[in-house]
Amino acid sequence: MNVTLQRATTPDIPLIHELAHRIWWAHYPGIISPAQIEYMLGQGYSDAALRQQIEDAGQSFWLVVADEQVAGFVAISKKAPATYFINKFYLDNTQRGRGVGAAAFQALLAQYPDLQELRLNVNRRNYKSVNFYFKIGFVIAHCMDTPFGEGYVMDDFQMLYRAK
Distance CA 16, CA 63 (A): 8
Domain boundaries, the chain: 3-162
| Residues 15-30, mean pLDDT to the nearest whole number | 97
pLDDT tens-digit map of 92-127: 987 777 899 999 999 999 999 999 999 999 999 999
The residue-averaged pLDDT of 72-91 equals 97
Confidence of residue 15 (pLDDT cuts 50, 70, 90): very high
CATH dotted code for 3-162 = 3.40.630.30
Q: Are 130 and 155 in contact (CB under 8 A)?
A: no
Return d(Cα 88, Cα 83) in angstroms, integer.
Answer: 16
pLDDT band with cut points at 50, 70 and 90 for residue 88: very high
3-state secondary structure of 78: strand
pTM, entire model: 0.95
